[in-house]
Structure formats: C-alpha cells, structure tokens
Structure 1
Amino acid sequence: MVYRELSLFDEPENEEKAKLMKEVEAIDLKPLFERLAKSKFRSSFYLNAKDKEYIRQHGWTKIEQGVGETIARRLAPADIPNDGRQTPMRHGVFPPFIAQHATGCCCRGCLAKWYGIPKGRQLTVKEQILLTRVVMTWLHRQCDNDF
C-alpha cells in the first residue's frame, strides 16, 4: 500500500516515516477483523455497486489518499466538535465512510472501544497510518472479487 502525506502533523523524516510504515505493515490485522466480524453492527456494513464503481473510477491510490486525509482531518485532532457525527453512514457519498463504520474508525468513541486510543489527545502519525491501513484493507476485501 502507498501511504500519502498526512497533513495534521509535521511530517517525520522519510527514514522515520518508512520505519513507522514498516511497523504498521507488520501488525497482524486478523484478530481485529475477527472481532469486528462478531459485532452485529460492524458486520452489517457492505459496499454496494455504486460504492464499488466510485472506487473503480477514482482508483486505489486516490482512495487511499482520501482516507489518510479524512483520518487526519476528522479523527486525529484531540478535540472534535462534532465527534460521533462526523462520518456519514449512507452509501453513495464516499465509500471509505462506510469502511470507517465497519472497522470502528468513525469517531473517537469507537477508536477508544476498538483500538484503545483515548479521546482527548491527537492521534500519532503511526496511529493514522494504522487506521488508514485498516480502512483500506476492509475496502480491498469488499472489492476483491470485483476488480
């Protein structure tokens, strides 16, 4: 996966960023996805044909860039005025929003519950990279048989 610049923080040096990306790639996401699958709410999300077409038209690189930017802007700040309402839940807007709900990456309350990331502090660059990877993994799983 290609991770794009996350705009909330000063970017770490290339070497440091590469190290963080390697660390995140080494994390086994299987236990997380197994836990998410046991949640009736989280497992109810899916991509419809319109969502998949959006991904096909924009391409994976552009989608991943959008996911990283969304996480940096809507989840990473320590204080989010509309926390719990910042991620739309309907199809046809931006498919990664559906993925954020499916993976518990939609608000700071869900990040605390699913990832142990407390409210009230900024997300680290490593956490942003991890959440981007989680969302992208879910999206790829949803589209695997389609393209």
Structure 2
Amino acid sequence: MRELDELFAALGRSRFRSSFQLNTHDSHYLHAKGLPVIQDHARDFIAKRLAPALIVNDGKQTPFRGHPVFVAQHATACCCRGCLQKWHLIPAGRALHADDQEYVLQVLMHWLEKVY
C-alpha cells in the first residue's frame, strides 16, 4: 500500500486518472446524500466488487459513471484488482483483508472530499 501523498502525486501525473471529474448528476447526488452516506456506499461497493479473491468480471465491474464512488474508483485506480495491484501494491488473487478495504475506503474518501 502506498502513502496517500505519494499516491495522489502519481495519479496527478496520469492523464487518464487525472481526467476524472464528477458530472452534474453525480455532484448533486454527493451533496444531497452527504459524505457519511457516500462512505457507506463506498464500503459496500468495496466489499462486494473488490474484496473477493476472484472476480468473474474483474476489470469491468466498476461503471465509469452513475455514482460518485464509481468515478472516484477510476480516478484513484481502485476500480479493479489489476489497478489495485499496479497502483496500490495490493496483490490480486487473494481476498482483500480488512485493512486493505479500509485503505481503499480512505483513498476513495480522500478524493471525494477534495471534490465535495
């Protein structure tokens, strides 16, 4: 796992990762629900879509829009197990430990707090 300052500096140098922004709908949704509710959604998405050791549709399980957390996942390379391995040094092929899931949640919330 990487330190957040180092991670966000690297993400900022990626044209792809730094291009993500919330659209109007997702921004309104974020503000209407508030960060605590969105954090609960993120925790649920992580547990269901990222935490299993093997994911049948890995690499395609996270839509590009439709929820602020989905956008944050792509912006922070927390969208699939391949990106988690490449960007966050979290090995693929094993279930995410509780501390891995908490780290991913912190990364997502850090990005969402910046755009809130």
The normalised TM-score by structure 1 is 0.75
Q: Greater helix share, 1 or 2? A: 2
Deviation at 1:122, TM superposition (A): 0.5
Question: What aligned pairs does 1:113-124 form with structure 2 within 5 A after superposition?
Answer: 113-124=86-97
**Runs of 4+ off more than 6 Å:** none
Which amino acid letter does the alignment assign opposite residue 84 of structure 2?
L
Residue in structure 2 matching 1:130, options 80, 103, 112? 103
Structure (1 or 2) with the larger CA radius of gyration: 1
1:71 is the counterpart of 2:46: yes
Which amino acid letter does the alignment assign opposite residue 16 of structure 2?
F
Cα shift readout 1:49-93 (whole Å, capped 9, x = no counterpart): 221110111111110000011001100000000000000013xx1
Q: Which runs of 5+ in 1 are unaligned?
A: 1-26
The normalised TM-score by structure 2 is 0.95
Q: 2:56 and 2:47 mapped to 1: Cα distance?
A: 15
Residue in structure 2 matching 1:80, options 49, 55, 67? 55
Identity %: 50
